Amino acid sequence: MNRDIWFYLNIVVVLICVFVFAIVSGFAIAPFQDKSGSVIYFEGNKIIGVEDNTLLQSRYPTTKEIQLNKYLQPLSKCLADKDVILFYLASCPHCKTQLKMFGDNARFLTVAECSSGNCPVESFPTWQINNKEYIGTRSLNELAQLSGCLESNY
């Protein structure tokens, strides 16, 4: 009987050590769903994305947004001209979704990759537009409106 208890106790200790090592070494532990139904993505102790159906702060692009590719280049260039900055992490799934919305035209955007840790924002993706921060994946229409790159076709 004592032998069985020690065996299970050792397994529990090993699992706790693995979990602590994962947290300390910064492995991504994602996703986590909180009580409100939001899905939160972490990298270490940093929130790198939130999917919130109530606030629509982060989501995947709509079919309409994907089909409107011919408007992406003018929007991308306008965002760059207006000094709009996208802060992102390469490991962030929402950041990848946001960049995919622009396709090849993402090359025109001003993008700051924040993996080195010296970033002025704590959540990703974050758009800096007119000296204000907007956290989460944003639609093309919303980016156009927030930046003043208004075009009815975005």
Distance CA 58, CA 88 (A): 13
Q: Which residue has the higher pLDDT, 69 or 101?
A: 101
Tokens standing for residue 60 = 């995947």
User: How far is CA 126 from each of CA 15, 54, 56, rounded to the nearest angstrom?
Assistant: 35, 19, 14
- The mean pLDDT of 20-29, rounded to a whole number, is 53
Q: Which residue, among 26, 32, 19, has the nearest Cα to 44 in the 3D structure? A: 26
Q: Is the pLDDT of residue 101 over 70?
A: yes
Q: Is the pLDDT of residue 110 over 50?
A: yes
- The mean pLDDT of 134-147, rounded to a whole number, is 91
Q: Is the pLDDT of residue 87 over 80?
A: yes
pTM above 0.75, yes or no: no
Structurally, at CATH architecture level, domain 31-147 sits in 3-Layer(aba) Sandwich (3.40)
Q: What pLDDT was estimated at residue 66?
A: 52
Question: How far is Cα of residue 103 from the mean position of the Cα atoms in its chain?
Answer: 17
Q: What pLDDT was estimated at residue 72?
A: 82
Q: Enter the DSSP assignment of 69.
A: G
Q: Is the pLDDT of residue 82 over 90?
A: yes
> What are the sequence ranges of the domains in the chain?
1-26, 31-147
* Residue 85: its H or E element: strand 85-88
- The mean pLDDT of 86-104, rounded to a whole number, is 90
Torsion of CA 115, 132, 34, 41, to 10 degrees: -20
- Residue 122 banded pLDDT, cuts 50, 70, 90: confident
